[in-house]
Amino acid sequence: GVQTCALPISGDIVSVKGKDLLLVFDKKQGWLKKYRYRAVDLIDEGSNFKANFWRAPNDNDFGANTPDKLKAWKTATQQSKVESLEANLEGKLAHITVRHALPEVFGTLTMDYWVNSLGQMTVKQTFVADTTQKVEVLPRFGMQWIFPKGFENVEYYGRGPQENYQDRNFSAHVGHYKQSVDEQY
């Protein structure tokens, strides 16, 4: 069964602890910097699970000078400032809310994390733009999680095994696929 999480707050971190679980949030940066389950670290040391507004540019992007036009979005999370961080227990769930100011893109990002003692996590990401300011189009609204070495294999159910798009996927059949990360590139 799911046990209640503990939420120790000390110094510059907030921890979520369960029997086999340790999550650590950095209060200064506001991001999840450690996710350890059953003594295995699942976030690469030195990186964070964080918001990501950038995507890899394609040939059309370079032709339209998009990487330069949208560069504020690439570094928006690096320049973020934590406005507030709250950590509470809600029944058997730990709820962490972090509010970030993103001055480069004139907005506020709110991250809500709900975690149970088994490590199951729900994340809600909300961005509110200052509509009085002009900012280039948002290239991507997502998250970035970098795994440490040792996680080189991918197994998935979906269209594959080759790259495909919604309008060009007739040769990419739905199935169960196993590949290396390099093969996914």
Three state DSSP letters for 87-113: EEEECCEEEEEEEEEEHHHCEEEEEEE
Closest by CA to 52, choosing from 67, 31, 34, 81, is 31
What does the angle CA 168 – CA 181 – CA 156 come to, to the nearest 5 degrees?
60
Q: What is the pLDDT of residues 55-107, one digit of tens each?
A: 988 888 899 999 999 999 999 999 899 999 999 999 999 999 999 999 999 99
Tell me which H or E stretch contains 160: strand 153-160
This prediction has a pTM of 0.86
Tokens of 19: 């029997």
Please tell me the total number of residues recorded for the chain in this structure. Answer: 185
Tokens of 52: 């990501």
